[in-house]
Amino acid sequence: MSDAVEKNPWSGLKAFTHARIALGRAGNGLPTAPLLAFNLAHAQARDAVHRPLDTAALREALEAEGFATLEVESAAPDRQHYLRRPDLGRRLSAASRAALEALPQGEAPEAVFVVGDGLSALAAAKQAVPLLKAARARLPDWRIGPVVVARQARVALGDEIGELLGASLVAMLIGERPGLSSPDSLGVYLTWAPRIGCHDAQRNCISNVRPEGLPYEAAAHKLHYLLTQARRLKLTGVGLKDDSGALSSEGAETPPRLAGT
């Protein structure tokens, strides 16, 4: 480090976080290297928001792992409408709704996974397949519907998809709003009895799924716990607490808590 750069006494903490701390100081501004890194991260975050989801490649990767897939799109006709009209991203296009309604009727799935681009198609493309593989290994006794790949998707789009497919539960895997150190973070939103009109208090969320954040195996463990308890209690959201990390003295998971207990 140049003698012109004044070191920050918090430098030792940088080993424990990707947050921008202890950047040092050069005169009354940032050193050149942290400034350039900030500009790069900002550009990566912007790119993540505007990057389109390659649905063909994602479906190919999913099907190579043995997942059946479907593809839908929201009522937002393009990325500009999607960003300016969040409401359009919460409903299916007329063509996609008709396609789901026309599917042959069979035994309704217990759970449906939806992979949506959200605000980071990069996250959906990178994190969805390994997370679904890790989750599937924990769900051998579940009836799971085809993975639905959704373009221009908001979280609530999963409600309409789950309702049309008759699913008891829908798990929306969606790209989260990029941060300046995480342009590829995936969120998972779990909703019991999905239907148009569900609100966020009826969902459980697992956030920051990516190797540098919540690793796939840990996220799959949380997802399995929440799915299992949601099926048992027939609810998700503020009434279902995530006790997936709590162990009894015998090493067994403690019973799930309802709100207020």
Tokens 């956030």 belong to 207
39 band by pLDDT with thresholds 50, 70 and 90: confident
In order of 43, 157, 194, the CA distances from 170 in angstroms are: 33, 10, 6
What per-residue confidence (pLDDT) applies to 254? 46
Q: Where are the domains of the chain?
A: 5-50, 55-233
31 band by pLDDT with thresholds 50, 70 and 90: confident
Phi/psi of residue 157, nearest 5 degrees: -60, -30
What per-residue confidence (pLDDT) applies to 148? 98
Q: Average pLDDT in the 12-29 region?
A: 78
What per-residue confidence (pLDDT) applies to 252? 45
What per-residue confidence (pLDDT) applies to 3? 61
Q: Average pLDDT in the 161-168 region?
A: 97
Q: Average pLDDT in the 221-246 region?
A: 94
> Are 149 and 137 a contacting pair, CB within 8 Å?
no
Q: What number of H helices and E strands is found in the chain?
A: 7, 8
Q: Average pLDDT in the 142-169 region?
A: 98
**Residue 147 CB burial class (10 angstroms; 0-12, 13-18, ≥19):** buried
The string of pLDDT tens digits covering residues 95-142 is: 999 999 999 988 999 999 999 999 999 999 999 999 999 999 999 999
Least confident stretch, 3-7, 85-89, 197-201, 242-246:
3-7
pTM: 0.84
**DSSP bridge pairs for 188:** 173, 206
pLDDT beyond 70 at 145: yes
What is the rounded average pLDDT for all residues in the chain?
89
What per-residue confidence (pLDDT) applies to 2? 56
pLDDT beyond 60 at 1: no
Superfamily of domain 55-233, CATH level 4: Ethanolamine ammonia-lyase light chain (EutC) (3.40.50.11240)
CA–CA dist 134, 123 (Å, integer): 16
What per-residue confidence (pLDDT) applies to 157? 98
Least confident stretch, 89-98, 112-121, 173-182, 203-212:
173-182
4 band by pLDDT with thresholds 50, 70 and 90: low
